[in-house]
Amino acid sequence: MLSVSSCKNRDHLREMDVQFSKEVIERLAAAQSVAVLTGAGISAESGVPTFRGEDGIWNKLKPEELASMDAFLKNPDLVWQWYQYRRELMNDIEPNPGHYVLAEMESDYDDFTLSTQNIDGLHIRAKSQRVLELHGNILRNRCNTCGKLTDENFPGDNVARCQCGGLIRPDVVWFGEMLPQEPLYDSFAAAERADVYLSIGTSAVVQPAASLPLEAKHQGAYVVEINLERTEISAMVDESYLGTAGTLLPELYRLVKEERTRENKD
């Protein structure tokens, strides 16, 4: 069993040795408002490749050549094929314990907000009721001309066309594009009122999502990061735990529930 120790601003180097601080457990047990930002790392254990880092897909491919409007207009079929390939990769994936524990937390807290940069829909499949998808969803498409959204699946390697004649594109947010207004607004509002903010499996380099944990910190939240490695924000958060989200997050929440039970008995 993991033991509890009080430690701040400390990286925990080996997952099996991770000791969650008394402070994070107590703060989560007492929190009225909790907000979370997830990134590709939380889905890595489900088999979805991350973008950056050791096994990141962008070690081999340049993002601006595929995830931008310029790229799409220059070579729509190539960009379409890239997304068809990634949709295929996602056919057989399932949520993992990291996704499931966030759905459980949502039902335990009165004020809980889950913002994700992921486009894989795994939080929804893990039964999180309200997921603020900041970068869209790869399972949806929309017309590049009239904007019509569709869940229709368009097979094939050539970009599909809308009834209006426009090109069909995945409903994801590319570089240089605005994030959807309402989820973005709600994410910042949640960061501002959070007692505890969790940043899980994100390299925290892509704006504006990467500003959420720091905004939370600025507004007084206790900010905790879980990631395989140190990130851009590790030095600025209250605690940074190194390890896999699918193991550490359920373990952390198990300790929080234990703490609640203890408090109720006292």
Active site (catalytic) residues:
135
127 phi/psi in degrees, rounded to 5:
80, 20
Q: Is 203 in the site for ligand BJW (CB under 6 A)?
A: yes
What does 244 interact with, of Zn ion, ligand BJW, none (CB < 5 to 8 A by kind)?
A: ligand BJW
Residues 53-92 that bind ligand BJW (CB under 6 A): 53, 56, 63, 67
For 236-259, b/e burial (b = at least 16 CB within 10 A) is: bbbbbbbbbbbbbbbbbbebbeeb
> For ligand BJW, which is the closer residue by CB, 40 or 259?
40
Residue 45's SS3 state is: coil
CB of 18 to ligand BJW, least distance (A): 12
For 14-45, b/e burial (b = at least 16 CB within 10 A) is: eeeebebbebbbbbbbebebbbbbbbbbbbbb
Residue from 159, 172, 184, 190 touching ligand BJW (CB under 6 A): that is: 172
The CA distances from residue 261 to 26, 114, 264, in Å, are: 12, 25, 5
79 Cβ contact partners less than 8 Å away, ≥ 6 residues apart:
66, 71, 72, 159, 169
Q: Is 231 in the site for ligand BJW (CB under 6 A)?
A: yes
The kind and range of the H/E element at 231 are none
What does 53 interact with, of ligand BJW, Zn ion, none (CB < 5 to 8 A by kind)?
A: ligand BJW
> For ligand BJW, which is the closer residue by CB, 144 or 227?
227
- Closest by alpha carbon to 68, among 208, 176, 143, 158? 176
Is there a contact between 241 and 9 (Cβ–Cβ < 8 Å)? no
d(CA 129, CA 80): 30
CB of 76 to ligand BJW, least distance (A): 15
Residues 125-154 that bind Zn ion (CB under 5 A): 143, 145-146
CB of 261 to ligand BJW, least distance (A): 27
25-33, 50-58, 160-168, 233-241 -> range binding ligand BJW (CB under 6 A)? 50-58
What does 121 interact with, of Zn ion, ligand BJW, none (CB < 5 to 8 A by kind)?
A: none
Residue listed under structure tokens 């426009």: 166
d(CA 52, CA 44): 11
> For Zn ion, which is the closer residue by CB, 56 or 166?
166
Q: Which residues bind Zn ion (CB under 5 A)?
A: 143, 145-146, 162, 164, 166
Q: Which residues bind ligand BJW (CB under 6 A)?
A: 39-41, 44-45, 50-53, 56, 63, 67, 117, 119, 135, 172-178, 201-203, 205-208, 226-229, 231, 244-245
